[in-house]
A = this chain, B = another copy of it.
Amino acid sequence: MKRKGLITVLSGFSGAGKGTIMKHLLEEYPGRYNLSISATTRNKRIGEEDGREYFFKTREEFEEMIKNDELLEYAEFSGNYYGTPKEYVNRLVDEGKDVLLEIEVNGALQVRKIFPDSVLLFVTPPSAEALKSRLVGRKTESMEEIENRLSISSKESLLMDKYDYLIVNDKVSAAVKEVHDIIECEILRTGRNSVMIEKMQRELALYKK
């Protein structure tokens, strides 16, 4: 009997490097992970493609998905909707495939409610200063937007302890290895190995005196 896929949720401050970690995970462990592609109403950035980074939707389309209960979670964030199409995740998990979800804090806690067995990882830079430099450095947001994101981060930080694991993203290669190792180790949890446990119990019962 095949195990169900593991759902790993990656959250973290805007600018913490979640996207980079995800990219490396997919590159370094080809075929190992399955990405859930989110739907969003935010503008496409240069180099992004519809159906690859995100499913880009209009507000009207997105609200239609909400209405039809097609989303595992969704949230409004910096004036845009972000959400996870439900059907795709369910299908992957049933096929025994491990799924990575990159979701902001409130959405992550929604996923945990629907999938109590999911693993929640929080990515943070080593300091608030490092976070600010990264946001400034990537030159995709205005100073006002950066201040806004840092303000959101301060609120998100209050929910860090709701997560299972903390990834301090100082060196990307180390953070990528940590995420991968956590997933591999979570697969070894007794709660995910009841088939093997029951097999040993059955086989050993023959030796009971």
Task: Assess whether A189 is in contact with B203, with CB atoms less than 8 Å apart.
Answer: no
Q: 8 closest Cβ contacts across the A-B interface?
A: A128-B203, A150-B207, A154-B204, A151-B209, A154-B208, A157-B201, A185-B185, A166-B193
Which residue of chain B has its CB nearest to the CB of A201? B157
Interface of A is mostly: helix
Task: Assess whether B178 is in contact with A165, with CB atoms less than 8 Å apart.
Answer: no
Q: How far is the CA of A167 from the CA of B157 in the complex (A)?
A: 35
0/1 interface trace, chain A 111-142, chain B, CB 8 Å (1 if under):
00000000000101001110100000000000
Confirm or deny: A147 has a beta carbon within 8 angstroms of a beta carbon on chain B. yes
- Which one of B151, B197, B199, B207 contacts A154 once the chains associate, using CB atoms below 8 Å? B207
Q: Which residues of chain B come closer than 8 Å to A160, judged between CB atoms?
A: 190, 197, 200-201
Give A residues with C-beta under 8 Å from B. 13, 122, 124, 127-129, 131, 147-148, 150-151, 153-155, 157-158, 160-168, 178, 181-182, 184-185, 188-191, 193-194, 196-197, 199-201, 203-209
Q: Which residues of chain B come closer than 8 Å to A196, judged between CB atoms?
A: 124, 166, 168
Q: Which residues of chain B come closer than 8 Å to A148, judged between CB atoms?
A: 209
